[in-house]
């Protein structure tokens, strides 16, 4: 019984901060876009509009859940729930004082769980029995799978350089220098790929209003739409947290606090702000440009860097120690 209570408390300790972070980043996004694009952001509900995000969430969940008559009910409502469950499950692997999942192959587990999200996207588009939803789902899956390959190739380079799959060990391997500096081209490709992986501007082509009428989630309203919304922003915060661990880890003098989790949170907040800045600054790409960027630019380059790292590590390992 005590073990069950401890497990439930740990789950709440993971879910509650994530939901609060989502509410905060949505509010900050609307404020930043309001200032950068000279339009007013939320300012009425609560002091400085602080309660606006909570009010929007309550409004969505109390609305009537509509479903097309021709839709498949079970898959139609299961897909957004699966999307949110996978997004929250990823947070259980983040290294902290008492992580729910603490294994040596944590990076491999992250790749496996994140790749399952394509089933919820395609399932929602297909179950809606709408041509717009189906096209949006297919485009979302193609985009996600394409950039997952580049992200996986970059992670292989990081694994080779750090010699481990464990996130804590990757953080400790950057005590002398961030991978951001030693792997500068890869960090740039990684950051752009995370924008495409999370469907953020200028790569939000799965929700292109002008051509797809909101894409795979066009038939969703109320609570199910809110689940998609929560999962999307949970993935945004998670991918920035993973970026701060992989490329900005380690105990450097620039760290403001001695606790790793606080340092990671500060770096995640900065990276998330850059995400919002990019949304306010760049127009949407064409879909062919999106695919060209990955398959003919980022993927060949990341594979070349991976081969180079393998050669260098093999040369270093084969050099006798008495030569130094």
- Does residue 2 lie in a domain region? no
Q: How many residues in the chain?
A: 324
- Does residue 166 lie in a domain region? yes
Name the residue range of residue 121's domain: 68-316
- Are 168 and 95 in contact by the 8 Å Cβ rule? The answer is yes
Helix or strand (DSSP H, E) at 4: helix 2-36
pLDDT at position 324 is: 41
Terminal Cα-to-Cα distance of the chain (whole angstroms): 58
pLDDT at position 39 is: 74
* Buried-state track 244-279, b at ≥16 Cβ within 10 A, e below 16: bbbbbbbeeeebeeeebeebbbebbbebbeebbebb
Q: Please state, in angstroms and rounded to a whole number, the distance separating the CA atoms of residues 63 and 84.
A: 19
- Does residue 36 lie in a domain region? no
pTM here is 0.89
pLDDT at position 60 is: 86
- Does residue 195 lie in a domain region? yes
Token look-up 């789950």 returns 11
**How far, in Å, are 45, 251, 252, 265, 266 from residue 256 at the CA level?**
34, 10, 9, 11, 9
- Does residue 218 lie in a domain region? yes
pLDDT at position 319 is: 63
Low-confidence ranges of the chain (pLDDT < 70): 1, 3, 7, 97-99, 208-213, 250-260, 319-324
Q: How many domains does the chain have?
A: 1
pLDDT at position 211 is: 63
pLDDT at position 41 is: 72
* Buried-state track 198-224, b at ≥16 Cβ within 10 A, e below 16: bbbbbbbbbbbeeebebbbbbbbeebb
- Does residue 107 lie in a domain region? yes
- Does residue 94 lie in a domain region? yes
Q: Which of 110, 90, 108 is nearest to 100 (CA)?
A: 90
- Does residue 6 lie in a domain region? no
């Amino acid at each position: 019984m005590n073990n069950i209570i401890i497990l439930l408390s740990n789950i709440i300790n993971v879910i509650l901060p994530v939901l609060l972070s989502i509410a905060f980043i949505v509010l900050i996004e609307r404020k930043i876009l309001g200032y950068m694009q000279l339009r007013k952001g939320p300012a009425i509900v609560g002091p400085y509009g602080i309660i606006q995000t909570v009010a929007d969430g309550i409004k969505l969940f109390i609305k009537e859940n509509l479903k097309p008559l021709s839709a498949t009910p079970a898959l139609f409502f299961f897909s957004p729930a699966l999307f949110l469950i996978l997004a929250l499950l990823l947070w259980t692997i983040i290294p902290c004082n008492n992580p729910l999942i603490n294994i040596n192959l944590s990076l491999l587990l992250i790749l496996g769980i994140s790749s399952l999200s394509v089933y919820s996207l395609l399932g929602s588009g297909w179950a809606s029995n709408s041509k717009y939803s189906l096209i949006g789902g297919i485009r979302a899956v193609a985009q996600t799978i394409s950039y997952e390959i580049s992200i996986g190739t970059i992670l292989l380079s990081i694994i080779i350089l750090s010699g481990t799959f464990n996130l804590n060990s990757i953080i400790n391997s950057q005590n002398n220098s961030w991978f951001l500096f030693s792997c500068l081209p890869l960090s740039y490709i990684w950051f752009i790929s995370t924008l495409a992986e999370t469907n953020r501007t200028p790569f939000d082509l799965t929700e292109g209003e002008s051509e797809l009428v909101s894409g795979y989630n066009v038939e969703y309203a109320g609570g199910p739409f809110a689940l998609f919304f929560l999962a999307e922003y949970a993935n945004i915060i998670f991918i920035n947290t993973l970026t701060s661990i992989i490329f900005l880890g380690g105990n450097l003098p620039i760290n403001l606090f001695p606790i790793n989790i606080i340092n990671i949170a500060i770096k995640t907040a900065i990276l998330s702000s850059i995400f919002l800045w990019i949304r306010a600054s760049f127009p949407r790409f064409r879909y062919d440009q999106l695919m060209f960027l990955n398959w003919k630019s980022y993927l060949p380059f990341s594979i070349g860097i991976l081969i180079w790292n393998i050669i260098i590590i093999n040369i270093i390992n084969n050099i006798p120690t008495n030569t130094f």
